[in-house]
Chain A
Amino acid sequence: MAERTAPRVTRLLGLVTYLERHGEATLATLASQFDVSEAQIKRDIELLWVSGVPGHGPQDLIDFDPWAFDEGVIRLTNSQGVGQVRLSPREAVALIGALSAAVSGGAAPEAAHSALTKLRDAVGDGDAVRTLTRFRVDPELAATLRDAIDAAVIVELEYVDANDKKTSRVIEPHRLVVIDGVTYVECFCRRAQDYRTLRLDRIAAAVPGTDPVVTRPNESGGFSLVPKFQAVVVAHRSARWLLESFPGTSIEDDGEIVTASFGVADAPVMAARLLGIGPHLRSIAPSALADEVSRQARAVLAAQA
């Protein structure tokens, strides 16, 4: 499908503004700055070149230096007074919202904070969106991981898994990512010989090593919280708040009773959360999830005798 109109015109105006502020630039520079191919930049320049004020006389058109163009250098000679337009309210919210979500856990580098401040100042009406922090990470731990990522060295971790088992692992950290307000480190775990997404609040200790990171970041973005099966849970509506907090859940509301369908990535973790609405549950399917709930419930009752 052809590129939509608004994104292309936004780039066209961007090229004019960029060239006005920086004099001239090569096709390669412009392609990398705007994240499109050199061929696309060439088509963009050719379109700009035939555009102008009504009348379209020789003085009315956006103009470039034709000799430089033949050498692959774009030199703007007449902008006709147009240029990039300020961020729209939606663009501002998209950028500020994402950045504020990324810094909310406290693990983001200083550059993310300063970028957010500059953005909010630039749009004037910067408080259209705000992120409320749910879980704050240990700043020292976050700094250790960030430094290791920047230096591309391994980290030795004490990690408490979802079943509360403490393990030692050596990871190759690739990046920090905030998913639904929880901060994780995307990494390659040398012990598991696979990619992992580990919660920072489950890391009990982190010591940077000197061994270099040799794996590349996971192509799929490293998100390993992929659902393994679909579950259907029926509960009294007073448990709705929990069910609707599950990622990707769909809820049917039948007055007093709600039916939630959702993907389960980790049955023990999901079972533990369902215990938290125990008295409100009506049914649990499939048995893979129900069995895990009953196993954990029996263990709790044995302990809390």
Chain B
Amino acid sequence: MATDPAERLLNLIIALTHARVRMTRAQIRSSVVGYEATESALSSDEARRRDAAFERMFERDKDELRRMGVPLQTVVDPTHGDEIGYKIDASDAAMPAIEFSPAEAAALALAAEYWQGAMLGPDAHQGLTKIASATESVPRTPLTLGARTSAASDATATIVDARARRMVVQFEYTSEGSGTLTRTVEPWQVLLRGSAEYLYGFDRDRNEPRTFRLSRIHGTLRAVGPDGAYEIPRPLPGFDWGGTRSERNATVGLRPETGHTLRQRGTVVGVEGDWDVVDVTYRYADALRDEVLGLGGMAKVISPTDIAADVRRYAEGALAVAESTPVSENG
């Protein structure tokens, strides 16, 4: 009967941890429980079939080890030709003991929900198992904090793996300025921002740091080329999200008991008919325009007049389209 893959993998980990110098594939195959050893009595066809089966199985197991975070070292021994051997350095591999309080452990548990349904979901669960083995047993406290995202991209997991090995990534990307192009990027950091995920890294084609919104990647993001292809600068250069604009002043009209978020950062300076006149600060004209548009007629811009004109222009544009949309939904 075939051995349980978990049993084979566990025996492989124990064997490689105990290897004095290294274990070759042949040694692994003949001594680790779960692999099918060669037998001299086999026909050459059958022997080839078994060799191929072992190679497939061992490659799969190496992938599983990588997936678990086991640092598998390859050791080339010059006295034994070019054949590669393997070992695991127990002290390098070990999970450090971290003491989490019950409240901290409860907070960590939110990771499982955050990545639910995403490619990093199983990694979150596996990470929590590792945390559980390194921490004091804790009374389960209910989770009073949660986090969710609608943006988790499958590319994130590939970027993280590539970054850990310092491999560059390649993908098709659409930007407003230059249409769809193939980009080659050295990944520095994954950025989570509201309902979007970004890759921050060095764009080899532009020869400068760039951010890429992962939802704008077409098809698959691939890690390409050798390991150790670049270094990540420390500290990372800062980037401009456009958050440096200084505050300016505007005057808006608000119907009584409305526009509370605008009122919170403004001052009521008077009353004109049915309108409270409020001085507010703003950084971006388009943000103020959107805020006033969003109040559905309960607000208007008094000054600056160019923002007031913009509010009208945007409402007129939306109105024209909304009222020209065919009534029939089936047509």
Contact = CB atoms under 8 A, between A and B. Distances in A.
Interface of A: 4-15, 17-18, 21-22, 25, 29, 32-35, 47-48, 50-56, 62, 80-95, 97-102, 104, 107-109, 111-112, 114-115, 118-119, 122, 125, 127-132, 134, 146, 149-150, 160, 163-164, 166, 174-182, 186, 201-202, 204, 221, 223, 237-238, 240-241, 244-245, 247-248, 253, 268, 272-287, 290-291, 293-304
Contacts of B312: 300-301, 304
Nearest to A283: B325
Given A98-B113, A118-B104, 13 more contacts: A52-B11, A62-B14, A109-B107, A132-B193, A166-B257, A204-B260, A240-B176, A278-B293, A281-B321, A287-B329, A293-B318, A297-B322, A300-B315
A255 to B, nearest CB: 8
A303 B145 contact: no
B132 A304 contact: no
Contacts of B322: 281, 284, 290-291, 293-294, 297
Q: Which of A22, A93, A98 has the most B CB atoms < 10 Å from its CB? A: A98
B115 interface: yes
Contact of B190 (A50, A88, A91, A128): A128
7 contacts: A53-B18, A81-B18, A91-B126, A111-B107, A177-B148, A279-B314, A299-B298
Nearest to A16: B133
A279 to B, nearest CB: 4
Contact of B69 (A86, A180, A241, A304): A86
Contact of A128 (B113, B115, B160, B292): B160
B87 interface: no
Across the A-B interface, the 4 shortest Cβ-Cβ residue pairs: A299-B297, A88-B69, A14-B133, A278-B317
Interface in B101-118: 101, 103-108, 110-111, 113-115
B161 A89 contact: yes
Contact of A275 (B10, B67, B294): B294
Contacts, number: 421
Contact of B95 (A51, A87, A273): A87
Interface core residue of B11, B110, B253, B296 (most chain A CB under 10 Å): B296
Interface stretch (B47-55, B75-83, B149-157, B219-227): B149-157
Given A93-B160, A164-B258, A115 B100 contact: yes
A237 B176 CA distance: 8
Contacts of B315: 275, 278, 296-298, 300-301, 304
B98 to A, nearest CB: 5
Interface string B244-285: 000000000100011111000000000000000000000000
Interface stretch (B1-9, B38-46, B202-210): B1-9
B276 to A, nearest CB: 13
A97 B195 contact: no
B123 A175 contact: no
A56 B94 contact: no
Contact of A47 (B6, B68, B128): B6
A300 B293 contact: yes
A304 B95 contact: no
Given A160-B261, A180-B149, A281 B317 contact: yes
A122 B33 contact: no
A285 B325 contact: yes
B9 A9 contact: yes
B317 A82 contact: no
Interface residues of B, number: 127
A82 B17 contact: yes
B185 interface: no
A13 B133 contact: yes
Nearest to A104: B192
A54 B189 contact: no
A15 B113 CA distance: 24
B69 to A, nearest CB: 3
Contacts of B193: 131-132, 134, 181
A247 B195 contact: yes
Contacts of A134: 193-194
Contacts of B99: 118
A47 B33 CA distance: 13
A131 to B, nearest CB: 4
B7 A47 contact: yes
Interface string B61-73: 0001011111100
Given A91-B127, A175-B144, A278-B313, A284 B325 contact: yes
A101 B151 CA distance: 12
Contact of A89 (B9, B160, B194): B160
Contacts of A150: 144
B260 A160 contact: yes
A94 B118 CA distance: 10
B96 interface: yes
A287 B215 contact: no
Contact of B293 (A21, A109, A182, A276): A276
Given A109-B103, A164-B260, A9 B98 contact: no
B221 to A, nearest CB: 15
A92 B189 CA distance: 13
Contacts of A281: 317-318, 321-322
Nearest to A160: B260
A95 B160 CA distance: 13
Contacts of A86: 69, 93-96, 130
A81 B147 contact: no
